[in-house]
Amino acid sequence: MKRIELFCFLMLTLLSANTKAESPVKRYNLDSYRIPINEKGAFVGRLISQTPNKIYEVKLLQDTANIFYINKKGVIRLKKNVAIKESSPVFRYAIKVEADGSTVEFELVKDEFIKNKVVAHRGAWKNTKVAQNSIRSLENAFKLGCAGSEFDVWLSSDNVAVISHDSKIGGLSIENSTYQELSKVVLPAGDKVPTLKEYLAEGKTQNKTALILEIKSSGISNERTLELTDSIISIVHQMKAQGWVEYISFSYDALKHGYNLDPSAKTAYLSGDKSVNEVKSDNITGIDYSFYSYRSDPELVHSAHKLGLTTNVWTVNDKDDFKNYLESGVDYITTDEPELLLQMIKNRGK
């Protein structure tokens, strides 16, 4: 190989190394990251190994607030006489755990997550005149006090996870464009296309609205959907956002792959073509089916709950439907009209 060819080869190798999709290798996770409030010695979560039969030794190496305790089985609790008060302004706590000689860092979150069932579909954008899936649509969902805010994630051609509903944005195909090209897009109300990292950073500025992350199905290949899943879970772990995020997807494979990468991830399937037994046996933790599915099977909420699955219905925008689903016992209602649904819930409480 001539010197110039060797130089080009090395440059290309370096460039491709920089743009590789992020791949998560995580041996330890917690089964829960949320700290109950006003409860002395509360259970927070259990350390779980991805090699389940292994007996591991655990140690709490760092606890910035000095309030946690970990036992030999990896169970993390608040210390006996410690409770996180409702009035405490701190809501994120960093810990570092040693397990079988390797260290892993987590962030635990004070559990003040709202339980009003309302999930803002693509953020709260419709009545606030901001772009769907923009940072401002997420902030609006926080301001309204929604239980969750939903958003959609794609992978750019150079493996940057970005937020958009459609596969095209600003005239560009996301999967065939670089992040640099996508970053120049200005949406009609002036919003930019956020990266997943930016979105999660914003999401972690609060502890009341859960982040409902949709893994989009790639138009290129199923492998590309799995690469997107790798990238998403890797970023969520890097940013220590596990306590905030729940995953949804129309791709059954993405959710099954998600379980392999993080067995404690909360996942819900969107397509509606699998029975609750099938979903349960594939370790997916919930169904997020369209209202057609619930309408055609009035027992669906009940049969899902019997198996311990969570239930979410999409996309409900009508007053009569809101009333029906509020009475159905469904856990989440995904809507483009979060203001209207919240008002109805408020009125019902009177």
* Binding residues vs Mg ion (CB under 5 A): 152, 214
Nearest approach in angstroms of CB 182 to Mg ion is 18
- Contact by Cβ (8 Å): 135, 127: no
Nearest distance from C-beta of residue 228 to Mg ion, angstroms: 14
Residue with Cβ nearer Mg ion (7 or 292)? 292
Beta carbon of residue 152, minimum distance to Mg ion (angstroms, whole number): 4
Task: Please identify, using beta-carbon distances, which residue of 191 and 214 lies nearer to Mg ion.
Answer: 214
Find the shortest distance in angstroms from Cβ 216 to Mg ion: 8
Stated as kind and residue range, the H or E segment containing 234 is helix 222-238
Residues 6+ apart with CB under 8 A from 237: 24, 26, 262
Closest contact distance (angstroms) between CB of 132 and Mg ion is 9
- Residue closest to Mg ion, measured at CB: 214
Cross-strand partners of 120 = 149, 335
Look at strands 43-49 and 28-30 and give their pairing: antiparallel
Alpha-carbon span 193 to 202, nearest angstrom: 14
Q: Do residues 151 and 122 lie in contact, with contact meaning Cβ atoms separated by under 8 Å?
A: yes
Instruction: Pick between residue 177 and residue 312 the one whose CB is nearest to Mg ion.
Output: 312
CB nearer to Mg ion: pick between 74 and 123: 123
Question: Identity (one letter) of the amino acid at 64?
Answer: T
Looking at the Cβ atoms of 117 and 121, the one nearer to Mg ion is 121
Nearest distance from residue 150's CB to Mg ion, in Å? 6
CA pair distance 132, 124, nearest whole angstrom: 7
Nearer to Mg ion, 44 or 333 (CB): 333
Name, in order, each residue with C-beta under 8 angstroms of 264's C-beta and a sequence gap of 6 or more. Answer: 29, 30, 31, 32, 48, 242
